[in-house]
Amino acid sequence: MKTILVTGGAGYIGSHTLIELDKAGYRPVVVDNLINSSIESIKRVEQITGRQIPFYKLDLRDAAALECVMEKYNFYACIHFAGLKAVGESVQKPLEYYNNNMTSTFVLLEQLKKHNCKNIIFSSSATVYGIPEEVPITEELPKGQCTNPYGKTKSMLEEVLIDLQNADKEWNVVLLRYFNPIGAHPSGDIGENPNGIPNNLMPYITQVAVGKREKLGIFGNDYDTPDGTGVRDYIHVVDLARGHVAALSAMERNCGLAIYNLGTGCGYSVLDVVKTFEKVNGIAVPYTIMPRRAGDIAACYSNPQKAKVELGWSAEFGLEEMCRDSWNWQKKNPEGYNTGE
């Protein structure tokens, strides 16, 4: 049984990936400092899988603490989710973002190298394409100018990993560029648990639906899109999690450097999402049109063919399932992981 180091495994995407790793016969070990997550997510994953998940609370920048974990296990690969991810906050706190995301990755890479674990999957983002030259976006499109420190850390870390693999061909590096993950595990026991006012569309919608917020603000209806609202490639988080398992199998074939978009290839507008959510869940989502949000682009969706052909992976769930599962999670957990215990 191969043991996988999962950094940031208590977070939204990480926790869902733990379940898929377990199903596929891998043994995940989690390190996370819980800065944006709760240990409760790991407990819930343990309930769902019926298996204990080794968990270490540590900051990746603490090399000595990480080294203790590295010495305990013989890791086959690392899936590196850990990082800060709020676009707006990164503009306010650039040093915190650069320090956390860059330094933690440097420390991690040194440790992986020292302990001869040279397989890494990195959580990148469609944000590295900047304002895309065209849609749908293929991996061959040049990267663009990121407008915020968060996006810049993703783009720079991609370059760091590419240089590392170039210098030492023993490394297998898979860069996964996620589009817009939403949804939750169908059990409704784990899901996205944002702190404070959500920045992203789906958690905002579910908080309006559950009565925590009055109405959704739609950021602009004058974009050059079919209904004027922004178009994105929403992907169910369980599909995204499975993409990581598929990427691990590429490592077994010594893939070297590989870059994949993880999206569905379908673009949906903000109004499409609101209407589908209302229809599937039978709940009204009041909204108001607001000015455009700084830094937003009109349309961003993937061409997911490369992952399909090379990894045999493609998304299975549609927008209806994404809306259903997001609501199921929110409804069962109106306060997220804050169970009040």
Q: Of the candidates 13, 120, 201, 246, which one interacts with ligand UFG according to CB under 6 A?
A: 201
Q: Of the candidates 35, 63, 141, 255, which one interacts with ligand NAD according to CB under 6 A?
A: 35
Tell me the closest approach of the beta carbon of residue 304 to ligand NAD, in angstroms.
15
Q: Contact, 229 vs 270, CB < 8 A?
A: yes
Using CB atoms, what's the residue nearest to ligand NAD? 11
> How far are the Cα atoms of 22, 145, 152, 230, 233 from residue 295, in angstroms, in the given order?
38, 11, 13, 12, 17
* Count of chain residues binding ligand UFG (CB under 6 A): 22
Tell me the closest approach of the beta carbon of residue 82 to ligand NAD, in angstroms.
4
Nearest-angstrom CA–CA distance, 4 and 153: 24
Q: Contact, 214 vs 208, CB < 8 A?
A: yes
Looking at the annotation, which residues are catalytic? 150
For ligand UFG, the binding residues in 66-105 under the rule CB under 6 A are 85, 87
Q: Which does 59 bind (CB under 5 to 8 A by kind): ligand UFG, ligand NAD, none?
A: ligand NAD
Peptide bond before residue 291 is cis, with ω within 30 degrees of 0:
no
* Binding flags for ligand NAD, 66-85, as an x/- string (CB under 6 A): ---------------xxxxx
81: tokens are 């989710």
Q: Does 293 bind ligand UFG (CB under 6 A)?
A: yes
Nearest-angstrom CA–CA distance, 317 and 327: 15
Q: Does 10 bind ligand NAD (CB under 6 A)?
A: yes
Region of residue 168 (left: phi > 0; alpha: psi -120 to 50; beta: else):
beta
Measured at the CA of 194, the angle between CA 53 and CA 19, to 5 degrees, comes to 25
Question: Which residues of the chain form contacts with ligand UFG (CB under 6 A)?
Answer: 85, 87, 125-127, 151, 178-180, 199-201, 204, 216-219, 230, 232, 270, 293, 296
